[in-house]
Structure 1
Amino acid sequence: MASLPSLRPLADDAVRGPARWLASWGRLVVLAAMILVLVLTPSTWRREGRRQVARHIYASTAPSLLWFTLLVALVSLIIIRIVVATALNYGLSQYALEAVIRVLVLELLPLSAPVFVALRYSIPMADGLYARRQQQARQVSADARAAGDGVLEPGTAPALQSVATEFMPRAVAGVFACVMLVAISCVATLMLAYFTVYGFVLSGLPEYTRRVGQVFNASVSLIFTLKTIFFSLAVSLIPLTSSLYDASTRMSRSRVELHGIVRMFAVILLVEVASLVGNYS
């Protein structure tokens, strides 16, 4: 039988585990609130602030916009052809277009674009920010850091100025990239679906518009919009929060990245399940 002293570390871990979990999500909420305040503050959008945000938006969106759109168009065209051909073979052609819209536009594209932005921009950006802050912390003396010279020590709460210059532009850029890629990929897929089903004519546009409108009713449109927003916030804020608060001397860089990835995909999974329940319950 285990003695009382040997059980004490297990009890401490059982108590500290949920406390650390709640603290990590609380820090995420605090950082999101600070970024929201800065976004709504007019002084943030002065010339230098606009320049920083525009630079990060370009870095997060422009390099991958064209080839991501082409890749999505190619995959979507293959899926559309398969669904339409299968529906024709089984005499269910009237349901082919609705199935394409629901599978691709409502589910796959809003999920694939944020995951792509996370792997292409958010996670490498957070890793680079963490490495740069670690390098700054090693170069600056302890007295200068204690005097509040603007260098942010790993694992400490950020000052509002540090959030405005380092975190807010990156978070806004991540959200913008997700929304932009979702919008462009959905529009491209809807156009490909129309041309595949009706051909290069305009006579089928009224019927096509009516069918799309039947799928995108008020509740579905609201769920689609909220899902896209929450996905964008998850892939933009969670890696930043991990690079800020989890970057302690007791945690390696790989462990910090892993914590951020697990949290991010957990939120994405919860949002996706909630959207499925809202759309099909």
Structure 2
Amino acid sequence: MISRLPGLSLPERAWGVVRRWALAWWRILYLGAVVCVLVLSPSSYGKVTRRALARYLYLDTAPVLLGFTVLAALISLVLTRIVVVTAISYGLSRYALEMVIRVLVLELIPLTAALFVAMRCTIPNGTQLALLRQSGHLARLSHAGADPVRVELLPRAVAGVFACITLAALSCVVALVLAYLGVYGFSLAGLPSYTRMFGHVFAPAVTLVFVMKTVLFSLAVALIPMAAGLYDTGERTQPDSELGGLARMFAVLLLIEIVSLVGNYY
């Protein structure tokens, strides 16, 4: 039985979904461009912004640095042991270490660092930004002549990018050291072959893809939750919630990972 309340037709509902989807992605791209301009602008680093930036850099990186490094070390040890034992059983021991480096350092650690920073730092910061918007704090800043993006969003976004790159870089170094120790032990005899293998894996093209992927991961996890928290769709029936921002963030991370795999192996 048809409801007495008039509803939207199927084309109208489809158009509404497409419009909200396009608007959300446009806001992410626009916010990313604005943040890049503000980062490169010396006027963005006033006394208040510098203090907020230093605070968020510390809060988003220092408390999680040790824990994530230990987690990456445990994953490195377990994965190295599994791959080495499996490769030896199939007579492929000379490929074991290269496989560990490719899977762990090139693919797993950057993605894990991005997801860890998102869950621990940037998504909560995006929620805080949404609460500031709903309480009227951002509007009061705008009426007072201050830029809400420069004052509240920029320090959070820069701290998220810094935390993601720092965790990924430190964990990759730890993984490389533990992978060597897992295969050769505390001996320098395997260092020449290890350095040759390292140079073979980290060719210039692969290194470029790795660096670009890590930077894009950090930008995605830093900007997309902030965009979901900063903007209000104005539609009470279907608001742009944190869940929508989370889905878009995962979609971007998946797309970046797919492109990097294509660039490395095809």
The equivalent residue for 2:61 is 61
Q: TM-score of the superposition, structure 1-length normalised? A: 0.86
8 Å CA contact 2:142, 2:148 repeated in 1: no
Asked if 1:179 is matched to 2:173, the reply is no
Deviation at 1:20, TM superposition (A): 2.2
Separation of aligned partners in 2, 1:7 and 1:219? 54
The equivalent residue for 1:279 is 264
The equivalent residue for 2:143 is 149
Q: TM-score of the superposition, structure 2-length normalised? A: 0.91
Structure 1 stretches lacking a partner, 5+ long? 151-158
AA aligned opposite 1:115: L
8 Å CA contact 2:129, 2:153 repeated in 1: no
Asked if 1:125 is matched to 2:117, the reply is no
The equivalent residue for 2:203 is 217
The equivalent residue for 1:197 is 183
- Describe the superposition over 1:193-230 as per-residue Cα deviations: whole angstroms up to 9, x where unpaired: 11111111223222111101101101111111111111
Separation of aligned partners in 1, 2:229 and 2:54? 22
Q: What is the identity percentage for the equivalent residue pairs of Structure 1 and Structure 2?
A: 52
Asked if 1:164 is matched to 2:189, the reply is no
Separation of aligned partners in 2, 1:28 and 1:46? 25
8 Å CA contact 1:179, 1:232 repeated in 2: yes
Deviation at 1:18, TM superposition (A): 2.0
SS in 2 for 1:262: helix
The equivalent residue for 2:29 is 29
The change in CA–CA distance for 1:7 and 1:70 in structure 2 (over 3 A counts) is closer
Pairing partner for 1:264 from 249, 254, 260: 249
RMSD, aligned CA: 2.4
SS in 2 for 1:79: helix
8 Å CA contact 2:217, 2:253 repeated in 1: yes
The equivalent residue for 1:229 is 215
SS in 1 for 2:36: helix
The change in CA–CA distance for 1:202 and 1:231 in structure 2 (over 3 A counts) is same
The change in CA–CA distance for 1:37 and 1:202 in structure 2 (over 3 A counts) is same
Asked if 1:75 is matched to 2:98, the reply is no
Separation of aligned partners in 1, 2:228 and 2:8? 29
The change in CA–CA distance for 1:117 and 1:81 in structure 2 (over 3 A counts) is same
- Describe the superposition over 1:64-119 as per-residue Cα deviations: whole angstroms up to 9, x where unpaired: 10011011101210110111111112111110011000110011101100000000
AA aligned opposite 1:203: A
Deviation at 1:48, TM superposition (A): 3.0
Deviation at 1:19, TM superposition (A): 2.5
Separation of aligned partners in 1, 2:237 and 2:69? 38
The equivalent residue for 1:48 is 48
SS in 1 for 2:236: coil
8 Å CA contact 2:133, 2:230 repeated in 1: no
Separation of aligned partners in 2, 1:173 and 1:205? 36
